Protein backbone atom coordinates (compact mmCIF):
# COMPACT_ATOMS: atom_id res chain seq x y z
CA UNK A 1 0.00 0.00 0.00
CA UNK A 2 1.35 3.41 -1.03
CA UNK A 3 2.32 6.04 1.53
CA UNK A 4 1.92 9.05 -0.80
CA UNK A 5 0.90 12.05 1.38
CA UNK A 6 -1.99 12.92 -0.96
CA UNK A 7 -3.66 9.57 -0.31
CA UNK A 8 -6.18 8.61 2.34
CA UNK A 9 -5.05 5.38 3.93
CA UNK A 10 -6.65 3.06 6.46
CA UNK A 11 -4.33 0.36 7.76
CA UNK A 12 -6.14 -2.63 9.27
CA UNK A 13 -8.62 -0.39 11.09
CA UNK A 14 -11.25 -1.69 13.49
CA UNK A 15 -13.67 0.49 15.41
CA UNK A 16 -16.04 -0.21 18.27
CA UNK A 17 -18.98 1.96 19.29
CA UNK A 18 -20.93 1.10 22.43
CA UNK A 19 -18.92 -2.14 22.60
CA UNK A 20 -20.16 -3.10 19.13
CA UNK A 21 -17.72 -3.70 16.27
CA UNK A 22 -18.80 -1.27 13.52
CA UNK A 23 -15.67 -1.47 11.33
CA UNK A 24 -13.85 -4.77 11.06
CA UNK A 25 -10.18 -4.75 9.94
CA UNK A 26 -10.65 -2.28 7.08
CA UNK A 27 -7.62 -1.60 4.88
CA UNK A 28 -8.22 0.98 2.20
CA UNK A 29 -6.41 3.50 0.00
CA UNK A 30 -8.17 6.43 -1.67
CA UNK A 31 -6.46 8.49 -4.36
CA UNK A 32 -9.46 9.69 -6.42
CA UNK A 33 -10.59 13.31 -6.06
CA UNK A 34 -14.37 12.80 -5.82
CA UNK A 35 -15.35 9.68 -3.91
CA UNK A 36 -18.85 8.49 -3.04
CA UNK A 37 -19.57 6.20 -0.09
CA UNK A 38 -22.57 3.87 -0.32
CA UNK A 39 -24.16 1.15 1.79
CA UNK A 40 -27.22 0.42 3.86
CA UNK A 41 -27.90 2.15 7.16
CA UNK A 42 -25.67 0.69 9.84
CA UNK A 43 -23.06 -0.53 7.34
CA UNK A 44 -20.26 1.62 8.82
CA UNK A 45 -20.33 4.62 6.46
CA UNK A 46 -20.76 7.38 9.05
CA UNK A 47 -18.25 5.76 11.39
CA UNK A 48 -15.79 5.63 8.50
CA UNK A 49 -15.98 9.36 7.74
CA UNK A 50 -15.76 10.26 11.43
CA UNK A 51 -12.54 8.27 11.55
CA UNK A 52 -11.24 10.36 8.65
CA UNK A 53 -11.96 13.54 10.58
CA UNK A 54 -10.44 12.23 13.80
CA UNK A 55 -13.78 12.52 15.61
CA UNK A 56 -13.54 8.83 16.47
CA UNK A 57 -10.30 7.02 17.34
CA UNK A 58 -9.74 3.57 15.81
CA UNK A 59 -9.79 0.65 18.24
CA UNK A 60 -6.85 -0.80 16.31
CA UNK A 61 -5.03 0.30 13.15
CA UNK A 62 -4.08 3.68 11.74
CA UNK A 63 -5.83 6.39 9.72
CA UNK A 64 -3.70 8.70 7.57
CA UNK A 65 -5.20 11.60 5.64
CA UNK A 66 -2.73 13.34 3.33
CA UNK A 67 0.08 12.19 5.58
CA UNK A 68 -1.60 13.26 8.84
CA UNK A 69 -2.53 10.82 11.59
CA UNK A 70 -5.84 12.55 12.24
CA UNK A 71 -6.37 11.01 15.67
CA UNK A 72 -2.94 11.75 17.10
CA UNK A 73 -2.30 15.12 15.41
CA UNK A 74 -5.52 17.01 16.02
CA UNK A 75 -4.09 20.45 15.20
CA UNK A 76 -3.00 19.38 11.73
CA UNK A 77 -6.20 17.41 11.27
CA UNK A 78 -8.29 20.58 11.72
CA UNK A 79 -6.51 22.12 8.73
CA UNK A 80 -6.55 18.91 6.69
CA UNK A 81 -10.13 17.61 6.92
CA UNK A 82 -13.46 19.42 7.08
CA UNK A 83 -16.78 17.65 7.63
CA UNK A 84 -20.35 18.71 6.89
CA UNK A 85 -23.02 16.73 8.72
CA UNK A 86 -26.43 15.66 7.45
CA UNK A 87 -28.20 18.03 9.84
CA UNK A 88 -26.64 21.53 9.75
CA UNK A 89 -28.15 22.27 13.16
CA UNK A 90 -25.73 19.73 14.65
CA UNK A 91 -22.86 21.83 13.30
CA UNK A 92 -23.86 25.49 13.54
CA UNK A 93 -23.06 26.93 16.96
CA UNK A 94 -23.25 30.72 16.51
CA UNK A 95 -26.32 32.94 16.07
CA UNK A 96 -25.24 34.90 12.99
CA UNK A 97 -23.77 33.73 9.68
CA UNK A 98 -20.78 36.06 10.02
CA UNK A 99 -19.91 34.65 13.46
CA UNK A 100 -20.27 31.07 12.22
CA UNK A 101 -17.94 31.56 9.26
CA UNK A 102 -15.45 33.55 11.38
CA UNK A 103 -15.17 30.78 13.96
CA UNK A 104 -12.93 28.66 11.73
CA UNK A 105 -10.47 31.50 11.36
CA UNK A 106 -10.43 31.99 15.14
CA UNK A 107 -9.68 28.28 15.51
CA UNK A 108 -6.69 28.85 13.25
CA UNK A 109 -5.39 31.57 15.57
CA UNK A 110 -6.75 34.85 14.20
CA UNK A 111 -8.03 37.53 16.55
CA UNK A 112 -11.78 38.11 16.49
CA UNK A 113 -11.79 41.29 14.38
CA UNK A 114 -9.40 39.82 11.80
CA UNK A 115 -11.50 36.65 11.69
CA UNK A 116 -14.69 38.67 11.14
CA UNK A 117 -13.03 40.57 8.27
CA UNK A 118 -11.97 37.34 6.58
CA UNK A 119 -15.46 35.92 7.11
CA UNK A 120 -16.93 38.88 5.24
CA UNK A 121 -14.44 38.26 2.43
CA UNK A 122 -15.66 34.65 2.23
CA UNK A 123 -19.31 35.72 2.09
CA UNK A 124 -18.47 38.24 -0.63
CA UNK A 125 -16.67 35.57 -2.66
CA UNK A 126 -19.86 33.46 -2.63
CA UNK A 127 -22.12 36.46 -3.28
CA UNK A 128 -23.68 36.08 0.17
CA UNK A 129 -22.67 39.41 1.75
CA UNK A 130 -26.28 40.08 2.66
CA UNK A 131 -26.23 36.97 4.88
CA UNK A 132 -23.62 38.38 7.28
CA UNK A 133 -26.03 39.64 9.94
CA UNK A 134 -28.74 37.06 9.31
CA UNK A 135 -29.60 34.63 12.08
CA UNK A 136 -28.68 31.08 11.12
CA UNK A 137 -31.88 29.62 12.55
CA UNK A 138 -33.92 31.87 10.22
CA UNK A 139 -32.35 30.38 7.08
CA UNK A 140 -33.75 27.40 5.20
CA UNK A 141 -32.12 24.00 5.64
CA UNK A 142 -30.43 24.33 2.26
CA UNK A 143 -29.11 27.76 3.16
CA UNK A 144 -27.80 26.46 6.51
CA UNK A 145 -26.03 23.67 4.62
CA UNK A 146 -24.40 26.35 2.47
CA UNK A 147 -23.30 28.24 5.59
CA UNK A 148 -21.64 25.04 6.83
CA UNK A 149 -19.97 24.58 3.45
CA UNK A 150 -18.62 28.14 3.45
CA UNK A 151 -17.41 27.74 7.03
CA UNK A 152 -15.51 24.57 6.13
CA UNK A 153 -14.09 26.03 2.92
CA UNK A 154 -12.90 29.10 4.83
CA UNK A 155 -10.42 26.86 6.66
CA UNK A 156 -9.03 25.60 3.31
CA UNK A 157 -8.91 21.89 4.18
CA UNK A 158 -7.42 19.40 1.74
CA UNK A 159 -10.36 17.02 2.17
CA UNK A 160 -14.06 17.83 2.56
CA UNK A 161 -16.41 15.15 3.89
CA UNK A 162 -20.18 15.40 3.47
CA UNK A 163 -22.57 13.03 5.24
CA UNK A 164 -25.92 12.90 3.36
CA UNK A 165 -25.89 16.63 2.50
CA UNK A 166 -28.87 16.33 0.13
CA UNK A 167 -31.25 14.79 2.66
CA UNK A 168 -34.35 16.96 3.04
CA UNK A 169 -33.36 19.47 0.34
CA UNK A 170 -35.68 20.46 -2.50
CA UNK A 171 -34.53 19.85 -6.07
CA UNK A 172 -33.40 23.43 -6.81
CA UNK A 173 -31.33 23.60 -3.62
CA UNK A 174 -29.83 20.18 -4.34
CA UNK A 175 -28.77 21.32 -7.81
CA UNK A 176 -27.19 24.48 -6.37
CA UNK A 177 -25.26 22.46 -3.80
CA UNK A 178 -24.15 19.91 -6.40
CA UNK A 179 -22.85 22.66 -8.68
CA UNK A 180 -20.95 24.24 -5.79
CA UNK A 181 -19.30 20.90 -4.98
CA UNK A 182 -18.35 20.33 -8.63
CA UNK A 183 -16.28 23.53 -8.61
CA UNK A 184 -14.21 22.59 -5.57
CA UNK A 185 -10.60 21.58 -6.03
CA UNK A 186 -10.42 19.69 -2.73
CA UNK A 187 -10.77 15.95 -2.42
CA UNK A 188 -14.46 15.20 -1.74
CA UNK A 189 -15.77 12.24 0.26
CA UNK A 190 -19.56 12.13 0.07
CA UNK A 191 -21.98 9.68 1.72
CA UNK A 192 -25.29 9.43 -0.10
CA UNK A 193 -28.17 7.04 -0.73
CA UNK A 194 -28.89 8.98 -3.92
CA UNK A 195 -26.97 7.04 -6.55
CA UNK A 196 -27.78 9.61 -9.25
CA UNK A 197 -25.80 12.21 -7.29
CA UNK A 198 -22.80 9.89 -7.29
CA UNK A 199 -23.00 8.68 -10.89
CA UNK A 200 -20.43 11.18 -12.16
CA UNK A 201 -17.97 10.73 -9.29
CA UNK A 202 -14.51 9.28 -9.86
CA UNK A 203 -14.95 6.33 -7.52
CA UNK A 204 -17.39 4.67 -5.14
CA UNK A 205 -16.71 2.69 -1.97
CA UNK A 206 -19.33 0.17 -0.86
CA UNK A 207 -19.56 -0.60 2.87
CA UNK A 208 -21.49 -3.54 4.24
CA UNK A 209 -21.53 -4.89 7.79
CA UNK A 210 -18.44 -2.94 8.76
CA UNK A 211 -16.31 -3.99 5.81
CA UNK A 212 -15.48 -2.68 2.33
CA UNK A 213 -17.28 -4.86 -0.20
CA UNK A 214 -16.01 -3.07 -3.30
CA UNK A 215 -14.15 0.02 -4.50
CA UNK A 216 -14.68 0.85 -8.16
CA UNK A 217 -16.00 3.30 -10.75
CA UNK A 218 -19.71 4.23 -10.48
CA UNK A 219 -20.51 2.70 -13.87
CA UNK A 220 -19.27 -0.64 -12.58
CA UNK A 221 -20.39 -0.52 -8.97
CA UNK A 222 -23.86 1.08 -9.13
CA UNK A 223 -25.48 -1.74 -11.15
CA UNK A 224 -24.00 -4.34 -8.79
CA UNK A 225 -25.18 -2.41 -5.75
CA UNK A 226 -28.70 -1.96 -7.14
CA UNK A 227 -28.93 -5.67 -7.97
CA UNK A 228 -27.86 -6.63 -4.45
CA UNK A 229 -30.34 -4.23 -2.84
CA UNK A 230 -33.17 -5.68 -4.98
CA UNK A 231 -32.15 -9.18 -3.94
CA UNK A 232 -32.20 -8.19 -0.27
CA UNK A 233 -35.55 -6.43 -0.63
CA UNK A 234 -37.03 -9.50 -2.31
CA UNK A 235 -35.69 -11.64 0.52
CA UNK A 236 -37.33 -9.38 3.09
CA UNK A 237 -40.67 -9.60 1.25
CA UNK A 238 -40.56 -13.36 1.01
CA UNK A 239 -39.74 -13.61 4.70
Cβ atoms of residues 108 and 155 within 8 Å: yes
Which pLDDT does position 155 carry in this prediction? 84
Phi/psi for 130 (5° steps) reads -70, -10
Q: Which pLDDT score is estimated for 27?
A: 95
User: How far apart are the C-alpha atoms of 31 and 5, rounded to whole Å?
Assistant: 10
Mean pLDDT by 10-residue block, N- to C-terminus, for the chain (239 residues)? 69 92 94 95 92 90 92 85 87 94 87 93 91 94 86 88 82 79 88 92 96 96 96 74
- Round to whole Å and give the CA distance between 112 and 4: 36
Residue 230: in which H helix or E strand, if any? helix 218-238
pLDDT score recorded for residue 189: 95
Residue 147 lies in a domain: no
Rg (CA), the chain: 18
pLDDT of 66: 93
pTM value surpassing 0.75: yes
**Number of domains making up the chain:** 1
Q: For position 202, which CATH number holds?
A: 3.40.50.300
CA dihedral 165, 167, 171, 174 (to 10 degrees): 0
pLDDT at residue 239, as a whole number:
47
**Is 122 a member of any domain?**
no
**pLDDT number for residue 145:** 84
Q: What is the pLDDT of residue 84?
A: 87
Q: Provide the residue range defining the domain that includes 209.
A: 8-89+159-238
Supply the pLDDT for residue 4. 52
Inside any domain, residue 43: yes
125 found inside a domain: no
50 vs 78: CA distance, rounded Å: 13
Q: Is 79 helix (H, G, I), strand (E, B) or coil?
A: helix
Amino acid sequence: MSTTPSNIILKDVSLKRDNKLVLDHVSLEITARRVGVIGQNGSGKSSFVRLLNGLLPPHVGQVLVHGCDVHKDRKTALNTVGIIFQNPDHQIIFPSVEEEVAFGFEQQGLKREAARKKALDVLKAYDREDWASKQCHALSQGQRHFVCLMSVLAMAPKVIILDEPYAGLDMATSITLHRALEKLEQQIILISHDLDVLSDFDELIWFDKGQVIAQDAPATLIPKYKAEMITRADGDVSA
